[in-house]
Amino acid sequence: AHSTTRALFAAYDGPLYQVMRQSDGKKLTIGVVRPNGADAGGYADAAAQDRFCANTVCWIATIYDQARKGNDLTQAPRGAFSGPAMGGFNNLPIADMAPVSVMGHKVYGVFITPGMGLRQNDAKGTAVDDQAEGQYWVIDGHHYNSGCCFDYGNAEIDSKDDGNGTMETTYFGDATPWYHGNPPGPWVMTDQENNLVGCVNPDGADKLCKSLPNVTWRFVTAMAKGEPHHWTSMGGDAQKGPLQVMFDGPRVNNTYDPMRKQGAILLGNGGDNSVGSQGTFYEGAMTAAGTFPTDATDQNVQANVVAAHYGVAPVRVAPASATATPPGLQTFAPGTAQDVTVTFTNTAGTSATGVRLGLSLPAAWTAAANGAATFASVAPGVSVSASFRVTSGAAAFNGDLVGRAAWNADGHAQSATATEK
């Protein structure tokens, strides 16, 4: 069980993930915020990451196995495909590229770009050969591509293509060389090696699965589960409603029946270490070997995900012209000025009052508000923005622009920040 956003077990109070910073190579383990009065806790301590990674870049070095089986995910090694890092390893994900909220609190997902990936090739207790298994993950439905292959789940232990049926993972993206739905995508499918599978009886030689729906949700829950002679994929809006069945039926053909799964665990790329994919991961889990989850269990997992209240991050800082998420880097020449926007979104269920937006800057930088930066009241789900004219210092400095919001809700003073490098 893996997540950088929250504890996936009610009693779990161990580490979620570890970050490593560029400036000195030191590492910090990020844990769970514990209950404190009205705050139920259980979400990742993003504030600790922000303090540790201020004015430098951090990478996610490890995602810990919350099932306490030791199946931690670390930097993926070279396989049939070589990654861009030293020794053919994959790059590690940058730690702060995917800010979102869980239970109204800022947390970070795992933002994967081509060349990044995490893996555990010596996993314990996972399904092998034709043993039953199930897996789910929660992902960003707006971050994907057609590269191979944005996966999470059961893969080869040697990071190579060992033939049809040697892996069984969830997949998300809009790749069309294998089975796929009607364009434009993306689609929830499974990766069973040498085949992204969305159905068994496609329409024509182009492997079109006519009934496979396009996904539009911002947050997606996707599931894949298999047992002898049978597999199922499901998907749904991670913010509301039940899961829907994407496919339920027999294996593709006799090269996938029986399956020859090997039991490694991967995140972010293909079973053979193909590294052309992108996407954002928030949480996921796999069942122990031999366990085929019931449909009722799948729906209970979905209900738990919905209850976590995934949402956009409460604060976002970005160039004034930027509309895409996540925010990118912003470049200033020394002594120049640009407009920067700080946006606050009320992710709670009650109104936020006395909202105040601002920016913290590197030394010798200045900022002036272009207009209003305070708001009397912001309703739940509503966003407000303030624009600032930022002038950089005379010397080059790779520091942080920190957007800040402070407000009152339910009688308590609250605040949040967002960082742009």
- Burial (0-12, 13-18, 19+ Cβ within 10 Å), 369: middle
Kindly tell me the burial class for residue 99, based on how many C-beta atoms sit within 10 Å of its own C-beta (0-12, 13-18, 19 or more): buried
Q: Exposed, middle or buried, 199 (CB in 10 Å: 0-12/13-18/19+)?
A: buried
Q: Which two tokens stand for residue 187?
A: 């689609």
Active site residue 156: no
**Rounded distance between C-alpha atoms, residue 277 and residue 257, angstroms:** 27
| Active-site position among 272, 283, 298, 400 | 272
Of 322, 293, 311, the C-alpha closest to 383 is: 311
Active site residue 283: no
Q: Which phi and psi (to 5°) does residue 88 adopt? A: 80, 5
Cis peptide bond upstream of 149, omega within 30? yes
> CA 332 → CA 24, 327, 390, distances in Å?
25, 16, 9
Q: In whole angstroms, what is the distance from residue 41 CA to residue 238 CA?
A: 20
Q: Would you give the DSSP letter of residue 103?
A: T
Of 45, 50, 140, 193, the active-site residue reads 193
Burial class (CB in 10 A: 0-12, 13-18, 19+), 21: buried
Which DSSP helix (H) or strand (E) runs through 355?
strand 352-360
Give catalytic residue positions.
Answer: 193, 272
